Amino acid sequence: MTSVLYTTTVLIWGSTWLAIAYQLGDTPVVVSIAWRFALASVILFALLLARKSQLQLSTENHKIAALLGLCLFSNNFLCFYIATQYLPSGLNAVVFSLAPMLNALNLWVIEKRRPTMIFLQGALIGFIGVVFLFASQFMGAEMDLNILYGLLLSMLGTFFFSIGNLVSARAQSKGMPLLPTTAWAMGYGSIYLVVIALVSGMSLAVTMTPTYLSALFYLAIIGSVIGFNTYLALVGRIGAAKAAYCTVLFPLVALSLSTLFEGYQWTGFSMLGVILVITGNLRVFGIPEPLKRYLYSTRAS
């Protein structure tokens, strides 16, 4: 079951970065994300009602769900969506693949779990990889401070995601039900974004084009309802650090789609950067179990 959850999460989230790029345009980013998670929350609540599942949470658990909403279903995506205005979606995914590093770093800061020398080595390799990945933009004719702005936003979004990982792992370890908690968290995230939009004087109307609407429903149903719950189920099964392994493989899916649909141009620097980012993650956490089993079965055959 873990392998199914792992593979599903990689394929879904590896593809959502391109869908995010298709949502950019006339509709404000805040409004797009608000509708995404409002729809996802409603769909998830409807599924839970159809299954006659318990929807109520304690006051304390509602606080945790609200914190998840701020970390996983609003602020992180505000950063990612805006970053995609300045970076190809595939590059956004590569930066996001540093999430396992940030998980370990946050565990050090929050829970005083001191990192090992292997972690420090892997983190340095991953950081150098990101530098190489963006080297061609900074060194060539495309050099622009907007690239740096997009990179910083992507890093900030990954930080919010990492904090959300730790909150979710703690919540599930205390026995909080996964699906109701996720439904409430998505609802809280969307309410928070709607308030921001209204205070800023934005209209909640969206672009009524096939491209935008198909991206919206894909992100709400496939990317959010299915993708987030398979990922958070992994967090509950194997912990935040190991579950974040999914982010190591996201760039392979995302960059392939970015090359096909966005015309992303590969360079020697960018290829080396991707290799270093993945190598850094593998140095810290080793080879993921699903890949180990695949390699073992290949050798055996």
User: What pLDDT score was predicted for residue 141?
Assistant: 45
Tens-place pLDDT, residues 201-244: 999 999 999 999 999 999 999 988 888 778 778 777 777 666 66
| Burial (CB count within 10 angstroms: exposed 0-12, middle 13-18, buried 19+), residue 114 | exposed
Q: Which residues contact 174 (CB under 8 A, 6 or more apart)?
A: none
Helix axes 268-285, 246-261, angle to 10 degrees: 160
Give the SS3 label for residue 74.
coil
Domain of 197?
Answer: 2-300
Is-contact 138 289, C-beta < 8 A?
no
Cα separation, 239 vs 44, in Å, equals: 23
- Taking alpha carbons only, the member of 115, 113, 112 closest to residue 126 is 115
Most confident residue range from 92-106, 246-260, 267-281: 267-281
Residue with tokens 């340095």: 124
pTM: 0.78
User: What pLDDT score was predicted for residue 10?
Assistant: 82
65 vs 245, more confident = 65
Give the SS3 label for residue 233.
helix
Is-contact 206 35, C-beta < 8 A?
yes
Q: Is the confidence at residue 43, as pLDDT, over 90? A: yes
- The mean pLDDT of 254-279, rounded to a whole number, is 80
- The mean pLDDT of 89-97, rounded to a whole number, is 76
Is-contact 238 64, C-beta < 8 A?
no
Q: Is the confidence at residue 92, as pLDDT, over 50? A: yes
Provide the token pair at 197: 């939009």
- Taking alpha carbons only, the member of 37, 9, 6, 3 closest to residue 23 is 37
Is-contact 27 207, C-beta < 8 A?
yes
Provide the token pair at 206: 């969206």
- Taking alpha carbons only, the member of 269, 283, 289 closest to residue 91 is 269
Considering its fold, how many domains does the chain have in total? 1
Percentage of the chain exceeding pLDDT 70: 86
Q: Report H helices in 112-174.
A: 117-133, 135-139, 145-173
Tens-place pLDDT, residues 103-143: 777 777 777 777 677 777 777 887 787 778 777 665 554 55
- The mean pLDDT of 92-97, rounded to a whole number, is 77
